[in-house]
Amino acid sequence: MGCAALLAVAALLAPAAAWAPSAEDELLFKAWMLQNNRRYDPGEYPRRLRTFLGNKRQIEEHNAGNHSYQMGLNQFSDLTFAEFKKLFLWREPQNCSATKGNFLRSSGPSPDSIDWRKKGNYVTPVKNQGPCGSCWTFSTTGCLESAIAIATGKLLSLAEQQLVDCAQAFNNHGCSGGLPSQAFEYILYNKGLMGEDTYPYRAENGTCKFQPEKAIAFVKDVINITQYDEDGMVEAVGKHNPVSFAFEVTSNFMHYRKGVYSNPRCEHTPDKVNHAVLAVGYGEENGTPYWIVKNSWGPLWGMEGYFLIERGKNMCGLAACASYPVPQV
Ligand SMILES: *[C@@H]1O[C@H](CO)[C@@H](O)[C@H](O)[C@H]1NC(C)=O
Ligand SMILES: *[C@@H]1O[C@H](CO)[C@@H](O)[C@H](O)[C@H]1NC(C)=O
Ligand SMILES: *[C@@H]1O[C@H](CO)[C@@H](O)[C@H](O)[C@H]1NC(C)=O
Ligand SMILES: *[C@@H]1O[C@H](CO)[C@@H](O)[C@H](O)[C@H]1NC(C)=O
């Protein structure tokens, strides 16, 4: 038999063969399932395996290129971006359009770099929002925890679930989204936030169980940074404390592993941001300025739960919607 005939047979087999994973790929997937505690019924398994291998290919192609950040497999690797979005991000645009903020710029330079994690015991360990669009509550607690710690030297862990359950009157929507600035307003007018220990996180909508006598954190004022004033954000983080902000998560971000995230194709406006996080510092690497950001997808995601994102370009709308609280201490 000549080569031409063999090729013809191979061409006939190819469409079917393309769906058959190699033994090696399947082994990798099974190890990943074990590590990530995943079980599927037999009907779902082939679809998950296919999604996983598609993600793996995307990660390998990205890492073979010349990029400022690397991708890697993580707890989201069996999800399509559409599924990921539904589970972890906001479903509808939030009202983050404080075009004119009340943050007062001062004279004098901000530090060239800062990392509040290294300046003292000012940042709580990375938490995990689970399958609930409650990122905004983690950005809020993280910011207030750090502001209180910097003001008093006492690092508390605060209750996201209270914000999920109780902050609706301030345009927040539990597991369906909300904004740190609106959550700070809630804490201010509600007169307090309870601790993680007395109001534990459950990753689902619930009824409000706030007990005023158990409140341990209080807000005196809410500072909004003027829309797109990224220098204002630098000054706030450099001279005051970590700052809550929102940005647009796109499909490549869910695979982030390490390095300075940058994306020429994401949106930059407040109506497109879909995830809130916490800037705990900033710096510069090989001429690229970046933010150091605390996420709420657990300590196994990204750089021990953190990521770096390019600074100075309103990357993915990160300067569209930034704020922090002034704690009452
Ligand atoms: C990689 O990208 C950087 C920044 O865009 C560029 O300066 C550098 O020359 C590129 N290196 C290669 C090997 O393409
Ligand atoms: C935006 O604000 C308006 C007016 O306060 C409110 O009715 C609407 O529900 C808000 N939208 C969101 C997504 O919070
Ligand atoms: C959670 O509750 C809010 C109202 O408090 C509602 O708007 C939202 O749809 C709920 N989300 C889920 C996922 O149940
Ligand atoms: C800050 O933003 C929140 C919500 O986005 C808003 O309710 C509040 O009025 C703003 N505060 C100031 C002083 O502009």
Catalytic positions, written as ranges: 135, 275, 295
| Atom from ligand 3 closest to the CA of residue 133 | 13
Please work out whether the CB of residue 92 comes within 6 Å of at least one atom of ligand 2.
Answer: yes
Q: Which ligand is nearest to the CA of 179?
A: 4
Q: Give the pLDDT of residue 127.
A: 98
Q: Give the pLDDT of residue 95.
A: 87
Q: Give the pLDDT of residue 18.
A: 54
Please work out whether the CB of residue 222 comes within 6 Å of at least one atom of ligand 4.
Answer: yes
Please work out whether the CB of residue 169 comes within 6 Å of at least one atom of ligand 2.
Answer: no
Where along the chain do its domains lie?
A: 84-327
**For ligand 2, atom 7: residue with the closest CA:** 171
| C-beta of residue 277 within 8 angstroms of C-beta of residue 52 | no
Which of 155, 174, 164, 300 has its CA nearest to residue 217?
A: 155
Please work out whether the CB of residue 171 comes within 6 Å of at least one atom of ligand 3.
Answer: no
Q: Where are the alpha helices (DSSP H) in the chain?
A: 3-17, 23-35, 45-64, 81-88, 116-119, 135-152, 160-166, 180-190, 230-239
CB atoms under 10 Å from CB of 132, counted, come to 20
Which homologous superfamily is 84-327 in?
Cysteine proteinases (3.90.70.10)
- Name the one residue in this structure whose structure tokens are 């037999």: 42
**Distance (Å, whole) CA 309 – CA 262:** 6
Q: How far, in Å, is the centroid of ligand 1 from the Cα of 290?
A: 18
The amino acid that residue 203 corresponds to is A
Please work out whether the CB of residue 174 comes within 6 Å of at least one atom of ligand 3.
Answer: yes
Please name the helix (run of DSSP H) or strand (run of DSSP E) that holds residue 199, with its range, or none.
none
39 phi/psi in degrees, rounded to 5:
-135, 140
| C-beta of residue 307 within 8 angstroms of C-beta of residue 327 | no
Mutate to test the pocket of ligand 3, among 175, 182, 208 (most ligand atoms within 8 A of CB): 175
Mutate to test the pocket of ligand 4, among 103, 139, 222, 229 (most ligand atoms within 8 A of CB): 222
Q: How far is CA 130 from CA 60, 75, 210, 245, 315, in A?
A: 26, 11, 22, 20, 25
Is 324 in a helix, a strand, or coil?
A: strand
Which of 235, 227, 327, 317 has its CA nearest to residue 277?
A: 317
Please work out whether the CB of residue 175 comes within 6 Å of at least one atom of ligand 3.
Answer: yes
Q: How far, in Å, is the centroid of ligand 1 from the Cα of 58?
A: 20
Q: Which ligand is nearest to the CA of 225?
A: 4
Residues 6 or more apart from 21 whose CB is under 8 A from it? 29, 49, 53
pLDDT tens for each residue of the chain, 329 residues long: 333 333 444 444 444 445 688 999 999 999 999 999 999 999 999 999 999 999 999 999 999 999 999 999 999 999 999 999 999 998 888 888 777 888 988 888 999 999 999 999 999 999 999 999 999 999 999 999 999 999 999 999 999 999 999 999 999 999 999 999 999 999 999 999 999 999 999 999 999 999 999 999 999 999 999 999 999 999 999 999 999 999 999 999 999 999 999 999 999 999 999 999 999 999 999 899 999 999 999 999 999 999 999 999 999 999 999 999 999 99
Please work out whether the CB of residue 164 comes within 6 Å of at least one atom of ligand 3.
Answer: no
Q: Which two tokens stand for residue 112?
A: 């060239």
Residues 6 or more apart from 195 whose CB is under 8 A from it? 156, 157, 158, 159, 214, 216, 217
Q: Which ligand is nearest to the CA of 226?
A: 4
Q: Give the pLDDT of residue 19.
A: 67
Q: How far, in Å, is the centroid of ligand 2 from the Cα of 95?
A: 6
